[in-house]
Amino acid sequence: MLRSGLVALILALPAPAQDEGCRACHGEGVRECTGHKALADEERKVLACSEAMQCKQCHGVLRRDCQSCANPKTDAELQQRVQDLAAWLAERRKSVDAITGGKEIRHLKTANLDLAFSVRPLTVGRVKLDTHALMHLYAQRIEDLRTLFQQTFGCTDKDFSGRLQIYLFKDQLDHQRLAPRVTGQGANSNGVKLMGVECVYCAHHNPATMPGDEELHRNVVHNVTHLLLANAAPVCWRGNRKGVWVDEGVAHWFEDKVTGKCTNFCYEEVALQPGAGFKGGRWRVPLRKMVEAGKLGGFARLAQLNTDELTFEDHAHAFACIDWLLAVHGGPKVRKGIDELKQGKPTREVMKDVFGIDMLSVDDALSAWIKATYPLEEGGR
């Protein structure tokens, strides 16, 4: 602001426009808010953060009016931004917090994601992160997964019609109250998804099945992969129908790619014992052993199963099929095959037309590839 006593003097000088001459803000009319400390860089990567909005100086805008000069245009822009953020958070409080009754839910908005989050502080690597820092980390991981998915299959933003809507709570009750509202389905003990045009995942951090950050991260990777796969054009969710090997295979492939293990299984009805899994989540060695022992199931059978019929071995088999197809044919071709399956083309025809392989030859080809690629023991060949 100009001090009134100086107005006449300054106006009389042949000076540059007042905002350009301000040394405090370099003519910007605004200055960076210094109230965000360790997470300042994280805040600047996101579009809105309910925690950053607690800042008394900037209300989440991350910039403040420069007190050393007058700049009505940027003043108005700042005011508008404060109002827009407040309206966004009010809507989130109404559609999430008011339903759950939870008091400690934070909200974050990034380019492709709306995240509601109340997971308790967790140790990541060697650093203990509080809930706010953890929320930023998970938002970044979800955006990174989306980017990796696009790079893997050669698709772009244009291929996704929906924003990711993710709800991760510390309390099961919050999850149970909100899941029916946002997914249309009752909450089970695990997460609940709404896939297709909508991309919703609602879950709570269950310490019995997910002791720490690594397990929660892997759970999010598995489930968000399902959302991305179902939303990628042409939109159509294949879950609970024949061909689920593709959904589970791809979800496991990204679990393995990002976190090095596969430990999440999408059962609809089968209650999974806490900690139940297959071979500690590291599947290449056991798959090689299954092949050596002649115990890998047939692909024609796998291709007919639905979600509830998959055994642990079938999940591993599905992972290997996707791993093999991606390695041999590359992501864009695999995506073409998945697109055709999504549109209802029989597996037999897709294998022949897209991958040039006879249904009856798949087992031999996959087994030969596993023998040539997967080690007989961890760390070996």
Which residue's CB is nearer to Zn ion, number 268 or number 358? 268
Which range binds Zn ion by CB under 5 A, 8-16, 53-61, 169-177, 294-302? Answer: 53-61
Size of the residue set binding Zn ion (CB under 5 A): 16
Q: Quick check: 54 binds Zn ion (CB under 5 A)?
A: no
Which residue is listed with tokens 């590291």? 282
d(CA 173, CA 168): 12
Q: Of 18, 32, 35, 40, which one interacts with Zn ion (CB under 5 A)?
A: 35
> Residue 124 forms beta bridges with which residues?
127
Which residue is listed with tokens 């022992």? 293
Site for Zn ion in 162-181 (CB under 5 A): none
Alpha-carbon distance values, 371 to 178, 296, 359, 364, 381 (Å): 47, 12, 20, 11, 10
Q: Of 22, 85, 155, 341, which one interacts with Zn ion (CB under 5 A)?
A: 22
Show the tokens assigned to 304. 């007919």
DSSP E strands, the chain: 30-32, 48-49, 63-65, 106-109, 113-117, 122-124, 127-129, 164-169, 192-194, 199-204
Which residue's CB is nearer to Zn ion, number 177 or number 238? 238
Q: Quick check: 133 binds Zn ion (CB under 5 A)?
A: no
Give the number of other CB atoms < 10 A from CB of residue 353. Answer: 12
Q: Of 48, 53, 65, 69, which one interacts with Zn ion (CB under 5 A)?
A: 69
Shortest spacing between CB 368 and Zn ion, in angstroms = 27
Q: Quick check: 15 binds Zn ion (CB under 5 A)?
A: no
Q: Quick check: 89 binds Zn ion (CB under 5 A)?
A: no
Shortest spacing between CB 57 and Zn ion, in angstroms = 5
**How many degrees, rounded to 5, is the angle at CA 166 between CA 267 and CA 213?**
75
Q: Of 1, 15, 24, 360, which one interacts with Zn ion (CB under 5 A)?
A: 24
Q: Quick check: 338 binds Zn ion (CB under 5 A)?
A: no
Instruction: State the DSSP string of 211-268.
Output: -SHHHHHHHHHHHHHHHHHHHBSSP---TTSTTHHHHHHHHHHHHHHHHS-------S
Contact yes or no for 118/167 (Cβ under 8 A): no
Q: Quick check: 151 binds Zn ion (CB under 5 A)?
A: no
Contact yes or no for 229/248 (Cβ under 8 A): no
Site for Zn ion in 273-302 (CB under 5 A): none
Which residue's CB is nearer to Zn ion, number 21 or number 332? 21
Q: Quick check: 322 binds Zn ion (CB under 5 A)?
A: no
Which range binds Zn ion by CB under 5 A, 42-50, 174-182, 268-276, 350-358? Answer: 42-50
Site for Zn ion in 239-268 (CB under 5 A): 251, 266
Which residue is listed with tokens 């968000």? 224
In eight-state DSSP terms, residue 261 is -
Q: Quick check: 57 binds Zn ion (CB under 5 A)?
A: yes
List the one residue out of 217, 51, 219 whose CA is nearest residue 138. 217
Q: Of 48, 53, 55, 96, which one interacts with Zn ion (CB under 5 A)?
A: 55
Rule CB under 5 A: which residues touch Zn ion? 22, 24-25, 33, 35, 49, 51-52, 55, 57-58, 66, 68-69, 251, 266
